[in-house]
Structure 1
Amino acid sequence: MHSNSFVTREGSRLMHGGKPFRFAGPNIYWLGLDENVGGVDWPTEYRVVNALDTALEMGANVVRSHTLGASHGHPKAIMPEPGVFNEEALRRIDFAIHEAGKRGLKLIIPFVCNWDYYHGGRLTFARWEGSDNAEDFYRLPGCINLFKLHIAAIINRVNTLTGITYKNDPTILAWELGNELNDAPAAWVEEIADYIKGLDGNHLVAHGKQFGLDRDKLAIGSLDILDVHYYPANAEETVADAREVDQAGKVYIQGEYGWPDADLDSFLAAAEGEPTVAGTLFWSLFPHGDNGGYVQHFDGFSVQYPGTAFNGELTSRIGKLREHLFRMRGLDVPGHSIPREPEILSAEGAVRFKGVVGGASYTLERSFEGEGGPWTTVYDRRPADYAESWIDPTRIHTKPAYYRVRAHNVDGAAGGYSAVYRSDPFNP
């Protein structure tokens, strides 16, 4: 259910429900607009829910998502053209925010991106004003006014599923001016932060950059949070920057960090043990796909929990991320949940099924006698690899076959079986 209180700030600490609030979780940048499945499109409800449930299973209490606010210049973006807002795009965002709220997850939402990616960014605004210089996003009055119009449209949006105006929704932890606005002038940051605060007195305002602290923003009164991104994550830099932000009376978060090539044990221990680090968010989480397997993204930082069998080192690191998410929140690391029942999609040729949250391996069984069995094991606790074909090598193609599948968690505990799927005779 929706958490009914906002995250607030007392000096350099976050508070929630009268208690100190620390967080950890993933970036799930594509919740509002995706690029990873057959072109740019809105993600399906299944993928949104699967990702949020995976975040919960990993121990998250906060998710950062670019495209819930930063989405410009594409026909399916929030603002496909200057001053034009896409109601269907906003309805998809309504859904993601509603689902996060139901799970007690808080959201950090940037309004624009520094980079010229599929969902648009500051260069999109500059181009709308006839410039090919991304720096004009900060300088041209037309860009500034249009950006403010975009911000106001989101902050004042009434969620069609909850009836709650975004500015009144405690699911949102903070608005972030933008993703990695590395060279943003201090005067512009102050103007936009003041503007957000003038529209929304409930939510915190964040600003950040890559590879180091944006020190000339520490004195801006309307900024609550300074966000730093490190690739790879670094324990010493994290602690030093967090303490400097603390001295300025602001909140420090690490809104992105690279985990595959970091000294991960040192970084995670440092973040957990340093009270001036309010939160950490790894880059980045990808769910199961609509047609089986995992959604793929090839930037080298993709987390597909609980991992595949391709790389044992990465799978081990993903397990450490889960432990960190709980410990960062001051919680003991719990055992792994029992997976839900998978859904078989087809069994003509290969068997295809939707993966389930926490499924580390799957057992596939077949019967030629009907839904009641007897059952023969085709694959016993096979690792959840997206690239392996689940072909039944003993299939008799001239008679019907019946299949069922169940998932096992990291500890080997099995969930329930899927509904039985009948596959009719066919010519291979």
Structure 2
Amino acid sequence: MMLLQTLLLFGTQALAYIRPAPHPDSHITRSGSELQLNGKRWTSSGANVYWLGLDENVIPPAGEPFYAPLNASYPTKGRITEVMTTLNVMGARTIRSQTMGVSVGNPLSLMPELGKVNEKAFESMDWTVYQAKKFGLRIFAPLTDNYDYYHGGKFQFLRWRGIDIKSTGTLDPKVQEFYNNRTIIDDFKNYIKILLMHRNPLTNLTYAEDPTIFAYETGNELGGPTFGDKNVSAAWTKEIIEYIKELAPTKLAVDGTYGINESHLNISSVDIFSDHLYPVNIEKLSKGVAAVGSVDRVYFAAEYGWTPPVNLTDFFTWIENQQNKTKPIVSGDHFWSLFMHNVPDCSTFVDHNDGLALQYGNPKNPAHYIAQISKIRQHLFKMQGQVVQAESPPAPCPGE
């Protein structure tokens, strides 16, 4: 009721964009280099919202779950709901979220200790899936992380098996044990099984069954001892993707290597290859798309930096023009990254320390940020085949 009242306060202009997408119970499929929904081309542009399962940016009220050493807490339901309303107003179709797949190694994680499951961690994840479906959004999530952040990743799996190495700079070659050590691979697969077999009480579907989660990614920006080396075992990638599809035959699979690893192009079970663009670079983008197109798969620009003076116009135009081709190859792009209010406080925006937090509708946004956000919104609607004006309507804050 409160959400409806809030929507009404913003008038019919905002309400015009708060509508679910068609066929929420149908799975996204792939036909060659094209994603499809019920046999028709489906594009996949949207946002990274990495904190939906577990956050690091808000200190919760006293008594709420909080792990101070890593500043970890669960986002409120109101924050999650507001993100869905905002993305709907912005014209997004998809959300990429690390913590909807990666959650290991601290007391609030899905797996705080090897083999131990923290059911509490599923609550924010379940609410995210439930709300995304209501607002016609789809989710894809990496299953591990190349880095040693608060939500965990490959270094945690290594530590659990006695390989405790530094996680910055040029790494100890033993980091490759994550891809090569049978015990660690099986630990990771067990984690994947726990995640995908979880039944969401709000939907009565397992994550493996739910079409709202349309894809899983082997990891976030995966590599080897040297940053950007793409040194990820093809055998490991094939095994993990085939395991995802064994558990969840309707899911699409994304190669989570940081960049297009050409030695992975012949892995037939990979549906989507992706790259991250900091800054946006059309030459790099076009080369990646050409490589992926050569094996008739789909390409995602899964992350890009959006803040000025980045030239988004040429970047968006290039991607939009591909949609006019018989084989588009590049299905979409996802800006990094969305933050909104500290709900239930609808007056304070949450910030993040990387300088790339997009706060839609923040009255403190400078003019050049507002212009850039408007371009993103117009592009997201254009990827759905719709043209909208530069003026951005408000996104309601649910206040609860």
Q: 1:103-252 alignment to 2 at 5 Å?
A: 103-133=135-165, 134-182=175-223, 183-210=231-258, 212-252=259-299
Report whether the alignment pairs 1:257 with 2:304: yes
The answer on whether the counterparts of 2:45 and 2:333 sit within 8 Å (CA) in structure 1 is: yes
Report whether the alignment pairs 1:33 with 2:65: no
Quote the Cα distance in structure 2 between the aligned partners of 1:341 and 1:241. 38
Report whether the alignment pairs 1:332 with 2:393: no
Who is 1:12 aligned against?
33
User: Of 57, 74, 77, which residue of structure 1 is paired with 2:109?
Assistant: 77
Query: What amino acid sits opposite 1:289 in the alignment?
Result: N
Quote the Cα distance in structure 1 between the aligned partners of 2:120 and 2:182. 29
CA pair 341-155 structure 1, distance change in 2 beyond 3 A: closer
CA pair 143-306 structure 1, distance change in 2 beyond 3 A: same
Quote the Cα distance in structure 1 between the aligned partners of 2:264 and 2:206. 29
The answer on whether the counterparts of 1:91 and 1:160 sit within 8 Å (CA) in structure 2 is: no
Q: Which 5+ residue runs of structure 1 have no aligned equivalent? A: 344-353, 355-428
Quote the Cα distance in structure 1 between the aligned partners of 2:179 and 2:149. 18
More contact order relative to length (CA 8 Å, sep ≥ 6): 2
After TM superposition, give the deviation of residue 251 of structure 1 in Å. Answer: 0.7
Quote the Cα distance in structure 1 between the aligned partners of 2:393 and 2:253. 35
Who is 1:276 aligned against?
329
Who is 1:21 aligned against?
42
Quote the Cα distance in structure 2 between the aligned partners of 1:148 and 1:20. 32
CA RMSD, aligned part only? 1.8
Quote the Cα distance in structure 1 between the aligned partners of 2:201 and 2:146. 29
After TM superposition, give the deviation of residue 194 of structure 1 in Å. Answer: 1.2
The answer on whether the counterparts of 1:235 and 1:271 sit within 8 Å (CA) in structure 2 is: no
Quote the Cα distance in structure 2 between the aligned partners of 1:342 and 1:202. 33
Report whether the alignment pairs 1:60 with 2:81: no
Q: Which moved more, 1:233-242 or 1:47-56?
A: 233-242
Quote the Cα distance in structure 1 between the aligned partners of 2:294 and 2:25. 31
Who is 1:313 aligned against?
368
Quote the Cα distance in structure 1 between the aligned partners of 2:45 and 2:363. 23
Report whether the alignment pairs 1:266 with 2:314: yes
The answer on whether the counterparts of 2:265 and 2:295 sit within 8 Å (CA) in structure 1 is: yes
The answer on whether the counterparts of 2:86 and 2:396 sit within 8 Å (CA) in structure 1 is: no
After TM superposition, give the deviation of residue 56 of structure 1 in Å. Answer: 1.0
Q: C-alpha deviations, 1:400-424, integer Å up to 9, x for none?
A: xxxxxxxxxxxxxxxxxxxxxxxxx
CA pair 159-195 structure 1, distance change in 2 beyond 3 A: same
Who is 1:86 aligned against?
118
Who is 1:380 aligned against?
none
Secondary structure class of the residue paired with 1:8: strand
Quote the Cα distance in structure 2 between the aligned partners of 1:217 and 1:187. 9
CA pair 123-16 structure 1, distance change in 2 beyond 3 A: same
**% same residue:** 40
Secondary structure class of the residue paired with 2:239: helix
Quote the Cα distance in structure 2 between the aligned partners of 1:312 and 1:37. 27
Quote the Cα distance in structure 1 between the aligned partners of 2:132 and 2:105. 26
The answer on whether the counterparts of 1:227 and 1:252 sit within 8 Å (CA) in structure 2 is: yes
Quote the Cα distance in structure 2 between the aligned partners of 1:48 and 1:340. 12
After TM superposition, give the deviation of residue 156 of structure 1 in Å. Answer: 1.2
Secondary structure class of the residue paired with 1:279: strand
Query: What amino acid sits opposite 1:252 in the alignment?
Result: Y
After TM superposition, give the deviation of residue 340 of structure 1 in Å. Answer: 4.7
